Structure 1
Amino acid sequence: MPKRRAWEEDEDEAAAPPPEPCWLCGRDLGELIEWHHPVPKSKGGKARVAVHPICHRTIHAHFTNAELGRIGEDVEALRHHPEIAKFLTWVAGKPADFNAPTKKKER
């Protein structure tokens, strides 16, 4: 099978469904995608969801693995947390591959 050049589009790619949105913020995913375990592997989680790197850092800046294990796959519980809700409002208009420093929660 010959190698494809970056600018050549495969017929299968042209018919591919649009990418999934970010699990946390709901914006379209960009070039950089990270995989988040809603229930941490250390707590027995196996499922993974696609998120933006900034969304991933924000989740882990505000929740410990124990807290994430208790919340489970309930993304709405995360979205209703005051700091996450503030972040989601702020990031809503940003481009998919937007990056910025992430503040950690005061513990």
Structure 2
Amino acid sequence: MADAPLACWLCGRPLGSRVEWHHPLPKSRGGRTTVPVHPICHRTIHATIGNAELARRYADAEALRAQADIARFLAWIADKPADFHAPTRRRR
């Protein structure tokens, strides 16, 4: 039996050919653990929330998914293919 494909830590969709590794607790704040994410999901996390706030409030996947901008992104990306890519908007 083949192994099930890895799923993205943020969106839960199967990962495609490109995988990036995200530190839920930013490395600059002492994080060592990494989780697999799509490149677009990784860019969205960092374009939306700074490392200090990620460390303070969003090291947990459920808390991050509940953040308003991330929740909107997740609803939009839900039906896209695993290797989908689009430009990521910067934080305001």
TM superposition score normalised by structure 2: 0.94
Q: Within the alignment, does 1:68 sit opposite 2:54 as a pair?
A: yes
Identify the residue that residue 77 of structure 1 maps to in structure 2.
63
Identify the residue that residue 3 of structure 1 maps to in structure 2.
none
Deviation of residue 72 (structure 1)?
Answer: 5.0
2:24 counterpart letter in structure 1: P
- Name structure 1 gaps, 5 residues minimum: 1-14
Identify the residue that residue 87 of structure 1 maps to in structure 2.
73
* Bigger CA radius of gyration: 1
Q: Within the alignment, does 1:100 sit opposite 2:86 as a pair?
A: yes
May I ask how many residue pairs the two structures share in their alignment? 92
The structure 1 segments of at least 4 consecutive aligned residues displaced by more than 3 Å after TM superposition are none
Identify the residue that residue 43 of structure 1 maps to in structure 2.
29
Deviation of residue 20 (structure 1)?
Answer: 1.8
Deviation of residue 56 (structure 1)?
Answer: 0.1
Q: Does the 8 A contact of 2:18 with 2:83 survive in 1?
A: yes
Q: CA RMSD in A?
A: 1.0
Identify the residue that residue 10 of structure 1 maps to in structure 2.
none
Q: Within the alignment, does 1:34 sit opposite 2:16 as a pair?
A: no
- Name structure 2 gaps, 5 residues minimum: none
Ranked by relative contact order (alpha carbons within 8 Å, sequence separation 6 or more), the top structure is: 2
Percent sequence identity is: 61
Q: String of CA shifts for 1:12-57, please: whole Å, max 9, x gaps.
A: xxx4411221000000000000000001111000000000000000
